Amino acid sequence: MKALVFHGPGKIALEDRPKPVISAPTDAIVKITKTTICGTDLHIMKGDVPAVTDGRILGHEGVGIVEQTGGSVSTFKVGDRVLISCISSCGKCGNCKKGMYSHCENGGGWILGNLIDGTQAEFVLTPFADNSLYPIPAGADEEALVMLSDILPTGFECGVLSGQVKPGDTVAIVGGGPIGLAALLTAQFYSPADLIVIDVDDHRLEVARTFGATKVINNSDGGAVEKVMALTGNRGVDVAIEAIGIPASFDVCQAIVAAGGHIANIGVHGKPVQLNLDKLWSHNITLTTRLVDTVTTPMLLKTVMSGKLLPTPLITHHFALGDVVKAYSTFGNAMKERALKVIITNG
C-alpha cells in the first residue's frame, strides 16, 4: 500500500509499505477514504515529538471503511463506514473508566501516527476498535466528519471545557489556525460575551470573524497584549486559550488573563516556556494542560449532523493521497497558501 512515511525532522516520503495485519482480537483494519494533516504533524516534522521515530507512517485522523476485524470486535463489521478517533482506548482500564482515554493504561492513548503507524496511508490498523471507532450516520458529509477525529474535540475539550468558558465571559484565543478556530466554534455553545482571536495572518482573522469572533487582533507587531488590555478596560480576559504551542503565544496568555481567570493550553510545545509565577501566584489563575480524550466526540457528532456545528468551512484544499507530500508543503505554508484544513482522498 501507499503511505506517507516520516524519516526524521523535515523528511517525509510517499512509499510502498506492507498492508497492516490484525495483531490482536480487538483490532480492526480500516481502508482510509479521507484523511488530513494536523498541526501536530507539523510539530513532528520540526522534531518536537521525539517519540515519533524514523519509518513511522504519520497521521491520526480520518474516515474509512472497515476492511477486517479481530475476533473480539463486536460493534463493527466489514463494510461499515467509520470515523477514526485520534485517541485509541481500551475503555476498560482505570484511566479509561474515568474518561481519560488519552492515558489508557493498556497501550492506548495518542498512538496513531506517533507510536504506531497512522492514517496517512491506504489502510490503517486501529487498536481497540470497539472504543476507538465511531459509526458514520447515513447521509453524513464525510469530509466534515474528518474534523471530528481530532481538531473539534481537541479545541472543545482542551480549550473550551478546560477553560471553563461561561455565558458572558471574555475569551481570547491565541492562534487562528484550525485548532484555534475549532475552539472558537465550540466556545459559542456557552454564549461568551466576547470572542477575541489573535493571529499574525489577516486571512485567518477574516475567517475567524465569519466563524463568530467578535474582535480580531493582528499580532504581527507584537502588540497583542496592549490591544487586548485596551479592549477590556485593562482588566484582561476571563479565558485565554493557547492554540499554537510556542513560548511567545503562551507569554501572551499569561499577560492577558484576568484575576480569577483561566489559561487553557492546547498547543503542542516542543520547547520549555517561562511560567511567570511571580506575577500570577496571587491572581487566582487556573492553568490547564491536557491531551484530548475524545469523550465529547459522540456529542459533537450529533451537533454536526443536526447542522448546529458546521466544520466544513475549515476545509480549504483537497489532494489525492499520491500528492500528500505537496499537501504537507501547502499546509506548512499556511499563510502563503491560505490553508486551513486539507483533505487527502484515497481512491
- CATH code where residue 222 lies: 3.40.50.720
| Residue-wise pLDDT tens digits, 52-103 | 999 999 999 999 999 999 999 999 999 999 999 999 999 999 999 999 999 9
Q: Answer yes or no: do 191 and 268 share one domain.
A: yes
User: By residue range, what is the domain housing residue 133?
Assistant: 2-150+293-345
Per-residue pLDDT tens digits for 280-300: 999 999 999 999 999 999 999
CA angle 212, 216, 222 (to 5 degrees): 150
Q: Which three cell numbers stand for residue 197?
A: 482571536
CB neighbours (10 Å) of residue 67? Answer: 18
**For cell 485593562, what's the residue?**
234
Are residues 56 and 99 located together in one domain of the fold?
A: yes
8 A C-beta contact, residue 121 and residue 344: no
Last residue of a domain, one of 269, 288, 307: 288
- Among residues 266, 288, 310, the one where a domain terminates is 288
**170 pLDDT higher than 90:** yes
Are 41 and 123 within one domain? yes
Which residues face 15 on adjacent strands? 3
Q: Each residue of 222-256: pLDDT tens digit?
A: 999 999 999 999 999 999 999 999 999 999 999 99
Cα–Cα distance, 274 to 246 (Å, whole number) = 11
Distance, CA of 184 to CA of 177 (rounded, Å): 10
CA distance 68 to 79: 9
Residue 208 makes CB contacts below 8 A (sequence gap 6+) with: 176, 180, 181, 184, 197, 199, 216
Q: Are residues 16 and 145 in the same domain?
A: yes
Give percent of the chain with pLDDT exceeding 70. 100
Q: 224-231 vs 247-256: helix axis angle to the nearest 10?
A: 20
Cell for 347? 481512491
Residue 83 bridge partners (DSSP): 63, 134
Q: Note whether 203 and 143 are same-domain residues.
A: no
**Distance from C-alpha of 62 to C-alpha of 119, rounded to nearest angstrom:** 7
Q: What DSSP string runs through 105-173?
A: TTS-BS-BTTTB--SSBSEEEESSHHHHEEEPPTT--HHHHHTTTTHHHHIIIIIIITTT--TT-EEEE
What is the Cα–Cα distance from 59 to 40, expressed in whole angstroms? Answer: 9
State the first-to-last Cα distance of the chain, in angstroms, to the nearest integer: 12
Mean pLDDT confidence for 162-190 = 98
In a shared domain, residues 17 and 144: yes
How much is the pLDDT for 131?
Answer: 97
**Number of structural domains found in the chain:** 2
pLDDT at residue 347 greater than cutoff 90: no
Among 268, 288, 308, the domain-final residue is 288
185 and 283 in a single domain? The answer is yes
Its pTM stands at 0.96
Helix axes 178-187, 202-210, angle to 10 degrees: 20
In this structure, are 59 and 105 located in the same domain?
yes
Q: Are residues 180 and 53 in the same domain?
A: no
Question: Is residue 89 within 8 Å of 131, Cβ to Cβ?
Answer: yes
